[in-house]
Amino acid sequence: MGLSNIDIYTRANQATVNITSTVLKRGWFLEVMPSEASGSGFLIDPEGRILTNHHVIRGNAPQVEVTLSDKSRYKADVLAVDEANDLALLRIHADRDLPSLALGQSDNLQVGQKVLAIGNPFGLGGTVTSGIVSAVYRNTGQGGAYDRYIQTDAAINRGNSGGPLFDMQGNVIGINNA
Q: Which residues are catalytic?
A: 55, 86, 161
User: Which amino acid appears at position 19 of this protein?
Assistant: I
Secondary structure class of 23 (helix, strand, coil): strand
Per-residue b/e over 145-175, b at no fewer than 16 CB within 10 Å? Answer: beeebbebebebbebbbbbbbbbbebbbbbb
Exposed / middle / buried, residue 75 (Cβ in 10 Å: 0-12, 13-18, 19+): exposed
CA dist 13 → 89, 99, 126, 134, 176 (Å):
19, 9, 6, 24, 15
Give the integer Cα–Cα distance in Å for 12 and 23: 29
